[in-house]
Chain A
Amino acid sequence: MAKLSRRTILRGAFNGAAVGVALPLLDCFLDGNGQALASGAPIPVRFGTWFWGLGVTEDRWKPTKVGAGYDVPYELKPIEAYKDKITILSGFDVILDGKPNLPHNSGGIGIRTGVAPSSPALPAPSFDVLIADKIGGQTRFRSLEISATRDATNSLSGRGEGSLNPAETSPINLYNRLFGAEFVDPNSADFKPNPQIMARRSVLSAVADQRKELEARVGARDRERLDQYFTALRQTEQQLALQLEKPAPLEACRIPPKPADTTPPNYQIEHVIENHKTMAQLLAMALACNQTRVFNLNFNNGASSLTKAGSTISHHQLTHEEQIDAKLGYQPESTWFVERCMEAFGVFVDTLGQFKEGDGSLLDNTLVVAHSETNFAKTHSVEGIPMMLAGRAGGKIRTGLHVAGGSTPATRLGLTVQQVMGLPVDAWGEGGLHTNKPISEIMV
């Protein structure tokens, strides 16, 4: 097939059915010839979340010193090596306004959507979706959701109204989705628009044409659901359009080897650690290869089902049933799981730090929000839910700090990261979670 000029692509080989892609989208991505990244274009800033379930033992996790050079208590030891890349946020509350505390749900959903939920469904868009609306439209995947416990519903990402972005559950599937047949190597010398992708686009365009007719016939409640369908469709369509353009070469992008056979689908912590490590590698490569700019990685689930091989009791059960050791002053078995979670976060931060990009690393050009869904799991407390930030967002934030929230709303973090990622928002959250005060200490 002859090399197509940009104009012929937009007109489309299957023109009649095609819906044109907005030109500005492509303009910001390409130089005048449509062949390469505009010279001097800044390296993109990526955004993501990293979730772990069942919180921490506050006394063993929270630094006593506020500000730079914070001390590192026992449960934070696993991240000590990355201390200057990580900011600790303590004392930020999910304020429920008298709504019941839904164990393992209220905390995580409150942080992510700014609304204290009345049911386990997301009541409003999560901030990662709002950020993806801003920065996710220029890559093949608007965002990637990943669950190391291999549970597709282990996700806190969604557009609200009960919709949930399901998580990718196996390293193999993640690999195939990212680097399978439709992956275009940005560093490959020859580029030909894939006719299959043109065909796919025309299929979707045809469906998009039915929108008006259907919307005229549905009631208000179903219209919202229909809108979500067509939003999803349009996102896929736009991303296909991007794949018809030659991608700009990317220094850090290398095609990874196919991961080895997957671990068995259970919650045994050794397997989850292994999955997480493999999936973190694939995710980092996807970021380096500009396949996505937004991600949500869940290490374990809210009411953590993690088990140790041979144990009759899970992490979740332990947090409730294990005695607080009178001599030690904490739950020794439960804290073991917290340390493993922190270790995994260290692995994740380290993985992003390994990719050289420009003068720094992929981590320097990324902003990662890590958080749990509870503070002390034994009582399901949602005050002072542990949160962390990693990466410098391309120099837009300061790291290596401990910020004490002083019982202010946890939504301040959501507001801050939206602002850092360029969203024009000056207040966020509902009721007691409403805030117009970003965490100014960390903003450059």
Chain B
Amino acid sequence: MSSPHGRRRTAAGLAIAGVLASLLGCSTPRDAAAPALVASAEAPGRIVAMRRLTEAQYRNAIADIFGADIKVGGRFDPIVRPEHELIATGAAESTISPAGFEQFDTMARTIAAQVLDEQHRATFLACAPADAAQADAACARAFFQEVGLYVFRRPLTAAEVDFYVGVAARGAEPTRDFYKGLELGLASMLVSPQFLYQLETAAADGRQIDSWSKASRLSFLIWNSVPDRPLLTAASRGDLDTAKGLQAQVERMLASPKAEQGVRAFFTDFLHLDRVADLSKDTVVYNRFTPAVAADLKEQMLLTVVDHVLTQDKPYPELFTTRKTFLNRRLGLVYRTPVGKAEGWEPHELPADDERAGILGQGAFLALFSHEGRSSPTLRGRAIREVLLCQPVPNPPANVDFSGFNDTSNAVLKTARQRLDRHNTDPVCASCHKITDPLGLPLERFDGVGAFRKTENGAPIDASGAFEGKTFDGAASLGYLMAQSKGPTDCLTKRVAEYSTGLTEDKLPKGWLEALGQGFEAGGFKYRALVEKVALSPEFFALPEVAAPAARVAALSPSAAQTKEVR
């Protein structure tokens, strides 16, 4: 009778609430006085937003509710990233296709089967059925009330509890197995839109989302997972409606180890690291680049970010200049740097005069915004504009003629700068490339997988550029100038606000970004403090404006389904 977290039940009569609390709240004492959470007669209110759980949120939820040893196998319907937006805002528009549903159904059944197998069931059941070969309404009721609280992130209504108890009874009868009945009920919960979507509902006052929705919004923002028992308890007591109660929860959550999951999730979305999974390189040109290296690059970026903004709590702009990162053996080979540890990651500090520094020097950024067989100053420059500065770049006209731009084996035009300069002599092309290339060309001393090089095809690389009127040479200098600029911090503020609400900028409460930006600056541009400020501001819980959808700017970019490359 071992629990997923290696704890053992010590007393047979232990309240299930306590068992689950021990699973969910790592540092929380068992809350003996939490009876208010297991029953609700109230029907939830009007649904004001439906945000589909991302793959990471789904996985975190299952691990937090049922334990990390419950396997989640299956393919997730991709959530489409809207042009120039976050996946988090795409989730608020996302649908589920028939093929995607089939996958969710499979996952739900395999999870439910594991939760109720002989090894695990005792962990989640405080009661035992009178007869294991028959339905037992009382025991099933206790199970669904408790599990449902976490799966639906709110107490089930009395009608819902009756419903699932009924499903379990009908399942137990023909199978002659009480636990099979529970399994069917749980599988049905896990494939319900109430689990697969973060359903945000309006409070009775009609001005804010209700307490349960607030709890979910907080936990998905800070932990990228479902609320734990203390947070749900706070919600049930109305604590999240008071400044003091809210602050206590936000502080507790930011101090929890689970806050790292939240930081990882935001920066994965913000920096487009989701695409690293699809990243492939031509193995003839880059013979050391494998899917394992791609995964390592993403991890290297996230380790660097987490250490900088969470562990060290350093200003966000310094993420553009930091020399500190992490390496493992495999990346050491690609970047020709010795790594002492045979297994795992070790901190690594680059020399102060190194060309490589900060986000712009991270292999994940450099490789992601390159072609399969070569670097791309255009893709990199565009990513700096669009991803890091939130400045959408106009797209090339559909009938653009690239014939002036030649292949990499050209004997005269050896470097990308030479080829692009040639290309830029056409005024139509130049109008776009003037925006992107001067920010991408300074990164040219890093090849298509981010390895350092001094020459391309034997010719020395000119890495000079200009940013906001200042000229410079090399990637590290560009990082230094970006750290001085308001562009990256304004962009981050906007993205955190959008991420936290699932709303695009045009739908955010008026004046909120300005207030957040001022606070961010006043606090020395600390990411952690920015998240805290978002979570504590009244706008965070405001109901989305009920208005006609704003006309969106005609999207010219070939960015989604059919297009994997842009020039």
Among residues 31 to 75 in chain B, which have CB atoms less than 8 Å away from a CB atom of chain A? 44-50, 75
User: Which of B45, B373, B562 is close to A53, meaning CB atoms less than 8 Å apart?
Assistant: B562
Tell me if B174 and A302 are in contact (CB < 8 A): no
User: Which of A155, A228, A312, A316 is close to B95, meaning CB atoms less than 8 Å apart?
Assistant: A228
Tell me if A156 and B562 are in contact (CB < 8 A): yes
Any A CB within 8 A of the CB of B533: no
Any B CB within 8 A of the CB of A225: yes
Instruction: Mark interface residues in A188-230 (1 if CB within 8 Å of B CB, else 0).
Output: 0000000100011011101101100010011101100110110
Any B CB within 8 A of the CB of A128: no
Q: Measured between C-beta atoms, what is the minimum distance from B410 to chain A in Å?
A: 10
Distance between Cα atoms of A121 and B44 in the complex (Å): 33
Q: Measured between C-beta atoms, what is the minimum distance from B77 to chain A in Å?
A: 6
Distance between Cα atoms of A225 and B197 in the complex (Å): 11
Tell me if A229 and B101 are in contact (CB < 8 A): yes
- Number of chain A interface residues as a range: 35 or more
Tell me if B193 and A321 are in contact (CB < 8 A): no
Tell me if A317 and B562 are in contact (CB < 8 A): no
Distance between Cα atoms of A153 and B270 in the complex (Å): 20
User: Which of B105, B164, B407, B546 is close to A236, meaning CB atoms less than 8 Å apart?
Assistant: B105
Q: Measured between C-beta atoms, what is the minimum distance from A53 to chain B in Å?
A: 7
Tell me if B558 and A210 are in contact (CB < 8 A): no
Among residues 279 to 331 in chain A, which have CB atoms less than 8 Å away from a CB atom of chain B? 301-303, 305, 307, 309-314, 316-317, 320-324
Q: A13 to chain B: which residues have CB within 8 Å?
A: 174
Tell me if A100 and B48 are in contact (CB < 8 A): no
Distance between Cα atoms of A105 and B555 in the complex (Å): 11
Any B CB within 8 A of the CB of A104: yes
User: Which of B192, B560, B565 is close to A207, meaning CB atoms less than 8 Å apart?
Assistant: B192
* Nearest-neighbor residue (CB-CB) of A309 within chain B: B284
Distance between Cα atoms of A10 and B94 in the complex (Å): 34
Any A CB within 8 A of the CB of B116: no
Distance between Cα atoms of A88 and B99 in the complex (Å): 32
Among residues 88 to 108 in chain A, which have CB atoms less than 8 Å away from a CB atom of chain B? 99-106, 108
Any A CB within 8 A of the CB of B556: yes
Tell me if B564 and A305 are in contact (CB < 8 A): yes
Instruction: Mark interface residues in A154-169 (1 if CB within 8 Å of B CB, else 0).
Output: 1110110111111010
Any A CB within 8 A of the CB of B342: no
Any B CB within 8 A of the CB of A407: no
Q: Measured between C-beta atoms, what is the minimum distance from A266 to chain B in Å?
A: 4
Tell me if A207 and B47 are in contact (CB < 8 A): no
Distance between Cα atoms of A22 and B442 in the complex (Å): 65
Instruction: Mark interface residues in B72-112 (1 if CB within 8 Å of A CB, else 0).
Output: 00010110100100000000011111111110010011000
Any B CB within 8 A of the CB of A354: no
Q: A218 to chain B: which residues have CB within 8 Å?
A: 46-47, 50
* Nearest-neighbor residue (CB-CB) of B402 within chain A: A320
Any B CB within 8 A of the CB of A351: no
> Which of A17, A101, A103, A151 is the most central at the interface, judged by chain B CB atoms within 10 Å of its CB?
A103
* Nearest-neighbor residue (CB-CB) of B395 within chain A: A103
Any A CB within 8 A of the CB of B141: no
User: Which of B48, B101, B282, B563 is close to A302, meaning CB atoms less than 8 Å apart?
Assistant: B563
* Nearest-neighbor residue (CB-CB) of B556 within chain A: A100
Distance between Cα atoms of A210 and B371 in the complex (Å): 47
Q: A151 to chain B: which residues have CB within 8 Å?
A: 278, 564
Among residues 373 to 428 in chain B, which have CB atoms less than 8 Å away from a CB atom of chain A? 373-374, 395-396, 398-403, 405-408
Distance between Cα atoms of A226 and B101 in the complex (Å): 12
User: Which of B44, B96, B284 is close to A228, meaning CB atoms less than 8 Å apart?
Assistant: B96
Tell me if B372 and A307 are in contact (CB < 8 A): yes
Among residues 272 to 328 in chain B, which have CB atoms less than 8 Å away from a CB atom of chain A? 278, 280-285, 291
Instruction: Mark interface residues in A59-78 (1 if CB within 8 Å of B CB, else 0).
Output: 00000000000000000000
Any B CB within 8 A of the CB of A406: no
Q: A268 to chain B: which residues have CB within 8 Å?
A: 282-283
Q: A109 to chain B: which residues have CB within 8 Å?
A: 562
Distance between Cα atoms of A65 and B561 in the complex (Å): 36
Any B CB within 8 A of the CB of A245: no
Among residues 512 to 567 in chain B, which have CB atoms less than 8 Å away from a CB atom of chain A? 546, 549, 552, 554-567
Instruction: Please classify the interface of chain A as helix (H, G, I), strand (E, B), loop, or mixed, using the class held by over half of its residues.
Output: loop
Any B CB within 8 A of the CB of A233: yes
Q: B509 to chain A: which residues have CB within 8 Å?
A: none
User: Which of A156, A200, A207, A310 is close to B282, meaning CB atoms less than 8 Å apart?
Assistant: A310
Tell me if B554 and A118 are in contact (CB < 8 A): yes
User: Which of A142, A153, A226, A228 is close to B561, meaning CB atoms less than 8 Å apart?
Assistant: A153
Q: B281 to chain A: which residues have CB within 8 Å?
A: 266
Tell me if B99 and A320 are in contact (CB < 8 A): no
Among residues 325 to 360 in chain A, which have CB atoms less than 8 Å away from a CB atom of chain B? none
Q: B187 to chain A: which residues have CB within 8 Å?
A: 203
Q: B108 to chain A: which residues have CB within 8 Å?
A: 203
Distance between Cα atoms of A309 and B284 in the complex (Å): 6
Q: A121 to chain B: which residues have CB within 8 Å?
A: 80, 560-561
Any B CB within 8 A of the CB of A5: no
Q: B256 to chain A: which residues have CB within 8 Å?
A: none
Pick out which of these stretches binds chain A: B165-173, B231-239, B432-440, B472-480. B165-173
Any B CB within 8 A of the CB of A119: yes
Any B CB within 8 A of the CB of A404: no
Any B CB within 8 A of the CB of A243: no
Distance between Cα atoms of A13 and B174 in the complex (Å): 7
Distance between Cα atoms of A312 and B105 in the complex (Å): 42
Tell me if A120 and B95 are in contact (CB < 8 A): no
Tell me if B556 and A317 are in contact (CB < 8 A): no
Q: Measured between C-beta atoms, what is the minimum distance from A248 to chain B in Å?
A: 23
Tell me if B193 and A102 are in contact (CB < 8 A): no
Distance between Cα atoms of A178 and B96 in the complex (Å): 21
Tell me if B78 and A153 are in contact (CB < 8 A): yes
* Nearest-neighbor residue (CB-CB) of B112 within chain A: A203
User: Which of B78, B109, B564 is close to A166, meaning CB atoms less than 8 Å apart?
Assistant: B78
Any B CB within 8 A of the CB of A16: yes
Distance between Cα atoms of A165 and B100 in the complex (Å): 8
Q: B180 to chain A: which residues have CB within 8 Å?
A: 199
User: Which of A16, A53, A152, A200 is close to B105, meaning CB atoms less than 8 Å apart?
Assistant: A200
Any B CB within 8 A of the CB of A46: no
Distance between Cα atoms of A21 and B191 in the complex (Å): 20
Tell me if B105 and A203 are in contact (CB < 8 A): yes
Distance between Cα atoms of A104 and B560 in the complex (Å): 10
Q: A106 to chain B: which residues have CB within 8 Å?
A: 398
A161-B95, A210-B192 known; A301+B563 contact, CB < 8 A: yes
Any A CB within 8 A of the CB of B163: yes
Instruction: Mark interface residues in A259-288 (1 if CB within 8 Å of B CB, else 0).
Output: 000001111100000000000000000000
Distance between Cα atoms of A163 and B94 in the complex (Å): 7
A118-B555, A217-B45, A301-B562 known; A16+B166 contact, CB < 8 A: yes
Pick out which of these stretches binds chain B: A376-384, A394-402, A411-419, A428-436. A376-384
Q: Measured between C-beta atoms, what is the minimum distance from B68 to chain A in Å?
A: 25
* Nearest-neighbor residue (CB-CB) of A228 within chain B: B95
Distance between Cα atoms of A227 and B44 in the complex (Å): 20
Distance between Cα atoms of A203 and B201 in the complex (Å): 25
Q: B93 to chain A: which residues have CB within 8 Å?
A: 162, 225
Q: A235 to chain B: which residues have CB within 8 Å?
A: 98, 101
A120-B562, A310-B285, A317-B565 known; A225+B95 contact, CB < 8 A: yes
Tell me if B560 and A158 are in contact (CB < 8 A): no
> Which of B196, B373, B401, B563 is the most central at the interface, judged by chain A CB atoms within 10 Å of its CB?
B563
Tell me if B284 and A104 are in contact (CB < 8 A): no
Q: A229 to chain B: which residues have CB within 8 Å?
A: 95-96, 101, 193, 196
Any A CB within 8 A of the CB of B482: no
Any A CB within 8 A of the CB of B337: no
Any A CB within 8 A of the CB of B485: no
Tell me if B562 and A108 are in contact (CB < 8 A): yes
A-B contact pairs, 10 of them (CB 8 A): A102-B398, A105-B561, A173-B75, A218-B47, A222-B50, A310-B284, A310-B285, A312-B285, A321-B402, A323-B403
Q: Apart from A145-B99, A305-B372, what 16 extra A-B contacts exist at CB < 8 Å?
A: A120-B555, A203-B187, A206-B167, A206-B188, A207-B188, A214-B193, A217-B45, A217-B201, A218-B50, A222-B49, A225-B94, A228-B96, A232-B101, A310-B282, A321-B405, A322-B407
